[in-house]
Copies of this chain bind each other. A is one copy, B any other.
Amino acid sequence: MDLFFNPRSVAVVGVSESEKNLGRRIVQNLQEFSYDGIIYLVGPRGGTAFGRRIYKSVADIPDQIDLAILLVPARYVPETIAECGQKGIRRAIIESSGFSELDEDGREIEARLVEIAARHNMRFIGPNCIGVINKLSGLSVPFAGLKDIFESGKISIISQSGGVGLDYLNVMASENLGLSKFASIGNKLNVDECDLLEYLVRDDQTDIICMYLESISDGRRLMRIARGTSKPILLHKSNVGELAREIAQSHTAALSGDDSVVSAALEQAGIARFDESDTLVNSLKILPMPRLEGNNIAVISRSGGHAVIAADACEKAGFKLTSFPEPFLRQIEKHFRAKVIRLTNPLDLGDLFDFDVYTRIVDETLKLPDVDAVVFLHTYISAVEREQSRAFIVKLEDFSFTHGKPLATCVSTDGEEMSILRRSLRHPVFTAPEDAVSALAMLRDYKHDAVEEPRLPPGELDRETVGAVIERCLREKRPVLLDEALTIIRAAGLDVPAFELARNNAEAAAAAGRCGGPVVLKLVAPQVSHKTDIGGVLLGLEGETQAARGFEILMQAARRAGVKGEPRVLVQPQVMAGTEMILGAKRDATFGPAVLAGAGGIFVEVLNDVALRVLPFDERDAEAMLRSLKAYPLLTGARGRKPRDVEALRRGVLAIARLVDAFEEITELDVNPLMVLHQGQGAQVVDARIVLA
């Protein structure tokens, strides 16, 4: 990947003498950013531009080229790439549009392009993108003319959309955030976000990675890379709903997936998801600061109102405002001119207008062992306190690092002064107390350490039984029947009450007799997927007579529903009352199998209370998943209820995970309900449904 960011020579293909030519902007950008390699221009009509020859073909360039940048009409792209390949160029950025994001013709061009690039062993970024920027090497190839208004820094950006990428660049420039590398990836036909992420994770010049994606190419790889690094990764994943789908497809040919799977996967991999640029900005401002090692905040404010707002924000974010120790208060009390305010945390500086004293107070506060972070709220009128304020804020900049504690400075002044301030400071400042506090909360909650990929703990799974059932269903090209689904679930290690299949009322009666207690009768037929809807379930039948009569009733229901062949009836002891839960699994196109757990009954009906984890995950993940349910307190014994067998539920989650991990043929699975009994008594499967690919 490094040749994309540090090529010794580039060829800009698609340049002409016309003022309107977009390729010229690429050349302008390379010059504006002082690119440290050699630039060649290529265009079919030849001529000159920027005091350089425009070669008619890359073949004519009398030098070796590390990177070609293409901005020629889509239909010419494959042959141009072929020429580049013949010339020995191994990297290209294709900025042209008009590919699969437009129509079928474009899709065909893409297919040819992929084939030609492969033949020449070439990697390329795009098409339909604005290319890359490397602030350090001066490589800057977007076809939108840019000014080099960026600070050098360690934040790198990967954006599927060029426009949103430019927006991030604007935000960084105006907020004083330092840029390292930028890549717009468009249709990501060859190089995708994972290739670039892998590169940036290893890049010494990158500390924080920020991404905008409309689709995720390989979810599991993304998770693996993210887990392997301690560098913070922030992701804005859009294209979430129905309305965005069409425009995203026509924009970067992005297909949207199941957003709940995306969210779960990102959280598991330690990727911070954000969905508005304010959150991004606040995160980028706070992440370079020292880690927040505790939960105690001190708020120091020139405005009492802002102190109140900050205190509310601290409470909402779960922070504590530690009381200041008496000696500290006596120390700072001397500085106040008139005794017109009370000294508390938040500390209102009131009528104290001495900037040296402010500096000392902040310094002393950061030294307090019970203070883990400081928020300083500075309000000023630029016409009055411009010089003093600027000098003071510059002084504050270093405090965070000398004390090894985060110090969030929040400035309230007029807009013009604010933008001057932003340009002149080395570190960013906040503009609202709520922002400063929520950024600190982000710093507290988002700990990104490199971790091993979790492993599914080993456990009971009767592969032979499961394999045989699946093989039979696939061979007979029919859905998995209820008794087969229960057999699979039981083979996975869940507790399924004994059941028998009855072909006639005599068999039903005999089976009920063997059960002893009350039984349940369920219709089993390939055509019936929702048996309750057609009256295919009978509960609480007692004795042989009732069971025999039940059999007949189910047969009538089957005939009414138009069931063909000879349906059978499953006879099973009725499961004891417990807390109704549901377990399930589905297979996501990009993230692979995911397991979900939720509360059954009214909780799922009214509140959609479900949680989800992408594989692989371990016991701790399963535990966290269950804890995240709103209904969790019902399991652990809220308000004097007897605690339920949460351990059995967790075992069930892991059993389902092992099952769908081992058998790729299973695309959907539901255990609904699973009755979770009292602690130590396990959990029993009442009903199950399995769908194969």
Contacts and interface: CB of A to CB of B under 8 A. Distances in A.
Interface of A: 25, 73-74, 97-98, 101-103, 144-147, 149, 159-167, 170, 173-175, 212, 214, 238-244, 246-248, 250-252, 254, 275-278, 301-309, 311-312, 314-316, 321, 338-342, 344, 346, 348, 350-351, 379, 381-384, 412-416, 418-419, 422, 432, 434, 602, 605-607, 630-631, 633-634, 638-639
A305 to B, nearest CB: 2
A415 B169 CA distance: 10
Given A414-B149, A416-B174, A244 B308 contact: yes
Contact of A302 (B149, B163, B321): B163
A305 B102 contact: no
A144 B381 contact: yes
9 contacts: A146-B383, A164-B303, A167-B379, A174-B414, A214-B305, A214-B308, A251-B308, A251-B348, A278-B278
Given A144-B384, A303-B164, A312-B240, A432 B276 contact: yes
A276 B278 CA distance: 12
A278 B432 contact: yes
A606 B243 contact: no
Contacts of A301: 163
A198 to B, nearest CB: 23
A23 to B, nearest CB: 14
A306 B164 contact: yes
Contacts of A160: 305
Nearest first, the 7 A-B pairs at minimum CB distance are A163-B303, A174-B415, A161-B305, A251-B304, A164-B305, A241-B315, A244-B311
Contacts of A98: 338-340
A165 B240 CA distance: 38
A163 B307 CA distance: 10
A330 to B, nearest CB: 17
A324 to B, nearest CB: 12
A414 B147 contact: yes
Contacts of A415: 170, 173-175, 419, 422
Q: Assembly of this chain: how many copies?
A: 2
Nearest to A164: B305
A350 B631 CA distance: 48
Contacts of A254: 308
A348 B304 CA distance: 47
Contacts of A174: 414-416, 418
Nearest to A341: B250
Contacts of A316: 241
B638 A351 contact: no
Nearest to A385: B145
A639 B415 CA distance: 55
Contact of A244 (B315, B339, B348): B315
Given A305-B238, A309-B238, A419-B419, A381 B412 contact: no
A416 B415 CA distance: 11
B304 A242 contact: no
A348 B311 contact: no
A350 B422 CA distance: 33
A638 B606 contact: yes
A167 B381 contact: no
Given A238-B305, A241-B311, 12 more contacts: A73-B338, A159-B305, A164-B305, A239-B312, A243-B311, A243-B312, A244-B312, A246-B344, A247-B308, A278-B278, A605-B639, A606-B633
A74 B338 CA distance: 11
Contact of A250 (B247, B344, B383, B434): B344
Given A278-B278, A607-B630, A170 B414 contact: yes
A416 B244 CA distance: 31
Contact of A342 (B102, B173, B244, B419): B102
Contacts of A102: 339-342
A306 B311 CA distance: 35
B166 A304 contact: no
B306 A167 contact: yes
Given A159-B305, A170-B412, A602 B634 contact: yes
Contacts of A275: 312, 434
A414 B638 CA distance: 54
Nearest to A417: B170
Contacts of A241: 311-312, 315-316
Given A241-B316, A606-B630, A164 B348 contact: no
A308 B163 CA distance: 11
Contact of A412 (B167, B418, B419, B607): B167
A630 B630 CA distance: 13
Nearest to A431: B277
Residue picked from A147, A247, A419, most chain B C-beta under 10 Å? A247
A243 B305 contact: no
Nearest to A160: B305
A239 B308 contact: yes
A97 to B, nearest CB: 4
A348 B275 CA distance: 21
Given A102-B342, A305-B212, A412 B605 contact: no
Nearest to A432: B277
Given A238-B308, A419-B419, A606-B631, A321 B243 contact: yes
Contact of A243 (B163, B240, B315, B605): B315
B306 A163 contact: yes
Contact of A145 (B165, B278, B351, B383): B383
Contacts of A163: 301-306, 379, 412
Nearest to A639: B605
Contacts of A341: 97, 101-102, 250-251
A602 B247 CA distance: 43
A85 to B, nearest CB: 25
